[in-house]
Structure 1
Amino acid sequence: MKEQAQADVIVIGAGVVGLSAAIAAQARGLSVTVLDREGPAAGASAGNAGAFAFTDILPLASPGILKKAPKWLLDPLGPLAVPPAYAVQIAPWMFRFWRACSPKRVAHSTTAQTALMDLSKVELEPFLQQSGTLPMLRKEGNLQVYEGEAELKASLPGWKAREEHGIEFRHLNAAEMAEIQPGLAPRFTHGTFTPGWYSIADPKLYTIALADHFRASGGPIERAEVTALRPVDGGVEVLTADGGVRRAGKVVLAAGAFSHRIARTIGESIPLETERGYNTTLPSDAFDLRTQVTFGGHGFVISRLSTGIRVGGAVELGGLNLPPNFRRSEAMLKKAQTFLPGLKPGGGVQWMGFRPSLPDSLPAIGAARATQRVIYAFGHGHLGLTQSAGTARIVADLLTGKASAIDITSFSPQRF
């Protein structure tokens, strides 16, 4: 076994959260090495919808989801699915999710989520400026559409919660929606527009740009599959599948959906599950899209990227090992054609990725139980890109012994 030279920090994971944390640590004067099993932007950071969804403060675990879930689960290609082959394995996680849907827990999670969102929004533009990626930022808002007044009314408690947290939005009729986004099917009679919803030109290109900035600032990114961590005097050893051993003063574990497997090697049991997300990216001329459109009743969005029009979303709780079911991508695309009659469906590229999700919809950010030298930063679910700059700030503070900008008690990895 060959032991390689020590760095101040090893970051495990070259997705948007890991690279953002690495850049933030690097900016504090720390020597940082990034390890990833596939390289930069290989996972969920490559294929997400590209949104900085700062207004999305309500946790996925909520009474509203519980009401919709039975209907959705009856459709194997619908917004929420649990493959039969995975149903038994995910049952304990689903029980925790159900418990997290109580009004008291939802209120707690909303408060915590809002604090992280606010921090992430404050940190975003300075971080983009620092990393040379500010030109990739777009401020085009989001349009949530509803099929009838009843669906709008059902959404109002969520908008009231956002209003209480100072989030700007306005409800629209069909004519007002058409001014923002022409071409919607007549079935969508009402909508809500949130102007504070930002996006990135392309999430994969953004993550690769972060990797380039990190390297240009002297930070190595190595392709290596981490299999275990081992606390030692004065640091942490990182064991890899090729028999290698690397040593650092501290380790940041930001390996997305694979993080819990590595945490288990230092005695930590964290109930991380995988929301498998699907999408199809169409050519840029597929539709005249002017803002991101959310079809909340159907669990997917359509986003305008610099590289095309992306139709995707939904949740398949299927773990890491089952093969992709691209019929889910096809089902969303077929619906999108109905909802946007002018959409050209040809020439698309399908994708499936793993969103790392915890039962209460909050990430795990904080020190490991076994050692303060291992910092966890994973489990952001749908919000990894959104919360990446805020998480990076918190991680950099933890690494350098500074007080956190927000109370991170609610994100404790030991809360379960």
Structure 2
Amino acid sequence: MQAVNLSTEPFETNKPAAARAISSQRQMVVIGAGVIGLVTACCLQQQGHQVLLLDGNGVGQGCSFGNAGHLATEQVFPLADPALLPKLPGFLLDPLGPLAIRPRYFLKALPFFVRFINQMRAKKRSANMQALKQLLQSAIPAWQQLLAEAGCAHLIKTEGSLLVFEQTELAQVELVAQSYAGQGVAVEVLTSAQLQNRFPGLAGSIRYAIWFKDVGQTISPNLLNQALFQWFISMGGQFLQQKVAKISSRSGLAVHLEPNQIAAALQQSEAAPQIIATEQLVVCAGVHSKSLLAQLGYKLPIEAERGYHLMTSPTVQPQLPIASFERKMIMTPMLEGLRLAGTVEFAGTELADNWQRAERLRLHGEALWPALFSEQHIKNTRSGKAVATATGADTSSDGMKARPANCWSGMRPTLPDSLPVISGCDIPGLWFHLGHQHLGLTMAASSTRLLLKLMAKEPGSAQLAAPFSLKRFN
């Protein structure tokens, strides 16, 4: 594969290539160019199909750009955990805590939370966990094979990750470790002295850690997206940066593009084609899939879990991702710097971002990795720059601050049972591949493998994909 120049900035595709993509009929269309859609499009193109990839926001944006970069194969436990219930009041009373629900959005989110709590029942939780494990156990091997074929295997590494504890007693740490080990996750409990010996640079306040030995990370989510996209194009795949207005199926599958944008996108007259007929269509549009499915009569109880990250540049970075049990956040070393990520906020897709949630991640990061508390940061604090940020200076017209430098937010597409949708439907040729919550990056390759088996009607594939069927919401 010819070497390519991979930028660390979000990228755009050129419009002439996009114009060619719509000039003829496509055998397959994939809606959504996040990491799920990219992997789906690459694998279909690799199988010999002619694929057109559509996304109005460009390639590798949203959570696919700003995620924590962690291949979190240890996360076998569904998010709907009964142990969460007694902690909720404390989380919600802290507006900058690990979980927040905007008051204006509470009633809209209520149906999701009713379904979410229902998934805490022991039988449902156990079934959901087994389904998650099915995708997680093959996640890293699937990524390694895919990236080897794409010529960019160096973009992921598998040196494990740490879950650190500052206040939790050893007996509780060992119980947590045993719960993971009981599900086949390779773990080792480390004391403070062992941590300082093996992973120097961690704060002395960290008493214990669980070392997840077999998990991994990408060195840059953005570079990973770019490499996949360039591989897709090199195989003959085509891309159009265009928003999809709706999907129709009365006289065969068709994708209707936004009429007010297509002429500009193609640099042609308004007579340019606005409908793309296709034999097969895969919807990988994350939280935006909800409205597309609703037009077809399918109800999808998907919710946008807003997450934030803060990019930092310490002189020394940790060797591997470090998550905090008490602080509910993670820091991941990347080519672009040390990414601090976490928090869950339910605010829908329209309300403005609360950038204080991103900025507070620095305080957590400094407590775990003292190298973050740089001389420059001290100077900024003394000069009042940090104070201006923390008090909400530079606000936008709706009262929320404008985005500070190095901060990001994105919408994780989450379903109440923590399982994605990998499914066909009653409409021939229409497939859904979406809703991977916090594990989109982690499960993209293994999830796509299952989708392709289902599309090819391989023996046993329907049974394997049953837990992820769209019909479970009917």
> What's the TM-score bracket when you normalise by the shorter of the two chains?
over 0.9
CA contact (8 A) 2:454 2:465 kept: no
| 1:65 pairs with one of 60, 84, 100 | 84
In 2, Cα distance between the equivalents of 1:69 and 1:131?
44
1:321 aligns with 2:340: no
1:254 has 2:260 as partner: no
Out of 234, 239, 243, the residue aligned to residue 256 of structure 2 is: 239
**Of residues 165, 171, 181 in structure 1, which corresponds to 2:183?**
165
Could you list the per-position Cα deviations for residues 1-34 of structure 1 after superposition, in whole angstroms to 9, with x for gaps in the alignment? xx96322210001011001011111122111110
Bigger relative contact order, structure 1 or 2 (CA pairs below 8 A, ≥6 apart): 1
Q: Tell me how far 1:208 sits from its aligned partner.
A: 1.3
In the alignment, the residues of structure 2 paired with residue 196 and residue 50 of structure 1 have an alpha-carbon distance, to the nearest angstrom, of 15
SS in 1 for 2:363: helix
1:184 aligned to 176, 197, 202, which one? 202
How many angstroms apart in 2 are the aligned matches of 1:413 and 1:406? 14
Matches within 5 A, 1:92-171: 92-150=111-169, 153-154=171-172, 156-171=174-189
* 1:299 and 2:299 correspond: no
Q: Secondary structure at the match of 2:230?
A: helix
Label 1:242 to 1:158 Cα distance change in 2 as closer, same or farther (>3 A). Answer: farther
Q: Give the 5 Å matches for 1:329-348.
A: 329-344=358-373
Deviations 1:110-168, CA, capped at 9 Å, x for gaps: 11100111232331211111122201111221110112343x54455553343233221
1:189-240 Cα offsets, whole Å, 9 max, x none, are: 111001111111100110111111101110001011112111144x410111
Q: Quick one: which of 92, 104, 128 aligns to 1:85?
A: 104
**Deviation at 1:55?**
1.4
**Residue type of the alignment partner of 1:319:** G
Aligned partner (choices 175, 178, 203) of residue 193 of structure 2: 175
Structure 1 residues 166 and 357: alpha-carbon distance in aligned structure 2, compared to 1, 3 A threshold = same
1:412 aligns with: 469
**Preserved CA contact (<8 Å) 1:174 1:189:** yes
Q: What is the identity percentage for the equivalent residue pairs of Structure 1 and Structure 2?
A: 30
Distance across 2 between alignment mates of 1:182 and 1:14: 39
Which residue is 1:372 aligned to?
428
Whole-Å Cα distance in 2 between the matches of residues 69 and 182 of structure 1? 34
TM superposition shift of 1:406:
7.0
Answer yes or no: is the 8 Å Cα contact 1:180–1:290 preserved in 2. Answer: no
Determine the structure 1 residue equivalent to 2:297: 267
Q: Return the letter of the residue paired with 1:223.
A: Q
C-alpha separation in 1, matches of 2:350 and 2:283: 21
1:15 is aligned to 2:19: no
Q: Give secondary structure in 1 for the equivalent of 2:126.
A: helix
Q: Distance in 1 between matches of 2:175 and 2:288?
A: 35
Asked if 2 retains the 8 angstrom alpha-carbon contact of 1:4 and 1:246, the reply is no
Letter in structure 2 aligned against 1:326:
W
RMSD: 1.9
Q: Secondary structure at the match of 2:138?
A: helix
Residues 175, 127 of structure 1: CA spacing in aligned structure 2 closer, same or farther, 3 A cutoff? same
Aligned residue for 1:193?
Answer: 211
Paired with 1:381 and 1:105, the residues of 2 have a C-alpha distance of 18
| Counterparts of 2:70 and 2:463, CA distance in 1 | 23
The two structures have a TM-score, normalised by structure 1, of 0.94
Kindly provide the amino acid, as one letter, of the partner of residue 311 in structure 2. Answer: T
Residue aligning to 1:386: 442
Give the residue type in structure 1 aligned to 2:415. Answer: L
CA contact (8 A) 1:6 1:249 kept: no
- Aligned equivalents of 1:406 and 1:190: distance in 2? 41
Q: Which structure has more strand as a fraction of its residues?
A: 1
Task: Give the secondary structure class of the aligned counterpart of 1:384.
Answer: helix
Structure 2: 5+ residue stretches without partners: 1-21, 261-273, 378-404
Distance 2:86 2:46 in 1: 46
What is residue 223 of structure 1 aligned with on the other side?
Answer: 241
Structure 1 residues 88-129: Cα deviation after superposition (integer angstroms, max 9, x where no partner): 100000111111112222111111100111232331211111
* In structure 2, C-alpha distance between the alignment counterparts of 1:223 and 1:344, rounded to whole Å: 41
Secondary structure of the structure 2 residue equivalent to 1:398: helix
Q: Which moved more, 1:173-182 or 1:200-209?
A: 173-182
Matched letter for residue 79 of structure 2: L
Structure 1 gap segments, 5+ residues each: none
Question: Between Structure 1 and Structure 2, how many residues are aligned?
Answer: 410
**What is the alpha-carbon distance in structure 2 between the residues aligned to residue 59 and residue 159 of structure 1?**
16
1:66 to partner: Cα distance: 2.3
TM-score (norm 2): 0.83
> What is the identity, as a one-letter code, of the residue corresponding to 1:363?
P
Deviates more, 1:157-166 or 1:391-400: 157-166
